[in-house]
Structure formats: C-alpha cells, structure tokens
Amino acid sequence: MTIPLLSFARNVSLEDLENDGAPPADKVGPNVLNTWTRGDLLSVNMLGMAHPEFSSMFQRRESAQRFAENQVADYDREDANTSYAWVALYTLNFLDAYLKRDASAKAFLEKTPAENGVPKHFMGIKFRPAQKPSDSNSR
C-alpha cells in the first residue's frame, strides 16, 4: 500500500486486552502498522480516551454510569470531549494535507501536539515517512 495512513488508538496495555477477552498478544498476529512502510504513517495515541469515546454518537448518548464504567484514569467527561475535538481536528488536517495538498494542513501535522495547543497528557504522535522501494525489490 502506498497511501498515507492516519491511525488513532486509545492507550491500552496487553493486560487490558487480555481482560477484555482478546486473545493473548502472541496469538493476535503481526500489527499492520509495523508493516505499513510504503505510505506515510501518522500514529496518534489518545492517552485518556476509552474506545467508545472515539464516536460522537456514543458521546452524545453516554450516561454518567456508562462513562464511569469506561473512564480512563482521572480523565473526566470534559476531557473526553476535548480529546474527541482534537481527533476531529487532526483528521481534518490529515485529509486536507493529503487529499487537497494543503500546505498549512501539512505544516499543522508536522508540529508537535504542544505547538498545536493540545493540552499536556492528551496525545502522543509518531510520524514515519514512506520508505521508497529499493532497486533490488522493484524487479
């Protein structure tokens, strides 16, 4: 695949995965993000978001009890809304940068979260540019 990829994930440990009924890490198989080398990869780790909070519909319908069941550390509902807003803004800039070739959107993505005004302890970002195929692999 030579297309760029934007990946958002919640902060999750192997222990959490095993508690959620997922198979052990050695049975899950290779991670597609580790092999995504032909296209740019922007990986965003949302530190305080639970999985359901990536959905605006769920956030609008979530009861206080349900939020408490999914709550990550001491991140409250306002933090969840703030995190979702940053997910939306990074998604918009990613699409503008790669589909519209918008230089200001690309510049936004190249900045650190702090330079973009993201509050501390909300997200971590890693960017890996596409690798060009070597001549020996392209034959």
Amino acid letter, residue 93: N
The residue written with tokens 């009861």 in the block is: 63
Asked whether 51 and 70 are in contact (CB, 8 A), the reply is: yes
Secondary structure string (H, E, C) spanning 102-126? CHHHHHHHHCCCCCCCCCCCCEEEE
Q: String of b and e for 57-96 (b: at least 16 CB within 10 Å)? A: ebbeebeeeebeeebbeebeeebbebbbebbeebeebbeb
* Prediction pTM value: 0.78
Give the model confidence (pLDDT) of 21-31 as tens digits: 555 555 556 67
Give the model confidence (pLDDT) of 76-121 as tens digits: 788 888 999 999 999 999 999 999 999 999 999 999 999 999 999 9
CA angle 8, 12, 13 (to 5 degrees): 145
**3-state percent helix, strand, coil for the chain, nearest multiple of 5:** 45, 15, 40
